[in-house]
Structure 1
């Protein structure tokens, strides 16, 4: 089958967000009167679990803290979105070229994420001028599926909505749980670690890279 779609699996495969996310978590903890501080090593380990709300809940459980994980996560999301809307975030290596390649060659673009819709909007604001919302054949968010990554649900929905088969799409993922989501849906996946996920396991990927190139997609 020929390649019909390129699926960016998270906002972190488009822009480098990890340290901005960690800072937003720590600032949200302060706003809620908590003395928690996630170091970079702490956060790197936590990224083995998908979902910020789930990370907060798990951390609270291990520290016997009675907190509203949903409320804290909402604060974190607002802080994160405000930061990247005001200051931007660096576009990851090769992303611009791959997006332009997809648009020029008629491949569909997808953002197969299970983050919040607010985070999606903030990310597309950063990418304004390179890609518009209408350039994506599919944009996922957390409200679309019952089970987030590493479950394959969001990829299955994306393929259904785009009317494509698993061998007609290549995914790009920046973490082990998200890679597992794509592989569980039968999709070939490129491992594209972010600055805090480099130590994770990408054995299920067809290749692991630090920068994207159009050659990864042009002969598929």
Structure 2
């Protein structure tokens, strides 16, 4: 293994509930009689990308300007809600430290907005040093967000790596498919609200798995 990619915000930090609350406040401000309860939001997480979830829920009734406005408001609320007590997910700092000591490149390969990335950086200030990442991507780097594999092809090209050199951690089946489609080995480390079954082979001991791979490399 020459590189390890964390594939989304959800692989770094758990924000599902904050995201859900932010969406609901944005809907209210937009005058929509929408409310996403936990069950609804879990189901919507099958599709990556906030704008796509809004479109799917509206059954494409809303025009793009309204979708953009709602999503922008959602991100404003999300930024406000991020707590100073927010911490990296279990095992994240251990994995990063191990990779750094082993001279394994690190990537944060997401197709979320730069605004979201910067909000997470601020919320985790003093708890996670994002300068450890050799590459951080956003929606600005690609034409097609996940589950399209474009962002992974971009990351491999930028780092001069082959797909066989890299392992990926993703938090949902849809995001995982973006890596697998390109032929990259990807662990599924589900987020709090991700819908997964035992047949999906979720990995809840990701730091142990990565440590084992590094030791055997």
Aligned equivalent of 2:117, options 108, 120, 131? 120
Distance 2:198 2:118 in 1: 29
Structure-2 separation of matches of 1:55 and 1:202? 25
Distance across 1 between alignment mates of 2:87 and 2:128? 15
Task: Judge which range, 28-37 or 153-162, deviates more.
Answer: 28-37
For residues 100 and 112 of structure 1, do their structure 2 counterparts lie closer, same or farther at Cα, with a shift above 3 Å needed?
same
Do 1:149 and 1:178's aligned partners in 2 also have CA atoms closer than 8 Å?
yes
Q: Which runs of 5+ in 2 are unaligned?
A: none
| Aligned counterparts, 1:75-114, within 5 A | 75-84=73-82, 86-114=83-111
**SS in structure 2 opposite 1:34?**
coil
The question of 1:147 aligning with 2:144 is answered: yes
Query: Could you report, residue by residue, the CA deviation over 1:58-117 in whole angstroms, capped at 9, with x for unpaired residues?
Result: 21227x556701110011111112211x44423211111001111111111100000000
Structure 2 residue aligned with 1:217: 213
Q: Is the 8 A contact 1:48 1:200 kept in 2?
A: no
* Partner Cα distance (1:182, 1:76) in 2: 27
Q: 1:78 to 1:17 in 2, by over 3 A?
A: same
C-alpha separation between the residues in 2 aligned to 1:201 and 1:176?
12
Shift in CA distance, 186/54, structure 1 to aligned 2, threshold 3 Å: same
4+ residue segments displaced more than 3 Å: 64-67, 200-203
Structure 1 residue runs of 5 or longer lacking an equivalent are: none
User: SS at 2:161's partner residue?
Assistant: coil
Once the two structures are TM-superposed, the CA of residue 133 in structure 1 deviates from its matched residue by 3.3
Contact 2:145/2:151, CA 8 A, preserved across alignment:
yes
Match of 1:171 in 2: 168
- Structure 1 residues 81, 68: CA separation in 2 closer, same or farther (over 3 Å shift)? same
Equivalent residue number for residue 186 of structure 1: 183
Q: Could you say if the C-alpha distance between residues 201 and 74 of structure 1 is closer, same or farther in structure 2, counting changes exceeding 3 Å?
A: farther
- 1:39 aligned residue: 37
Q: Does residue 138 in structure 1 map to residue 132 in structure 2?
A: no
Q: Deviations over 1:107-143 (max 9, x none)?
A: 1110000000011111122333344333211111112
TM-score, reference length from structure 1: 0.90
Q: Distance in 1 between matches of 2:56 and 2:95?
A: 36
Quote the residue 2:11 is aligned against: 13
- Cα distance change of structure 1 residues 71 and 88 upon mapping to structure 2, 3 Å threshold: farther
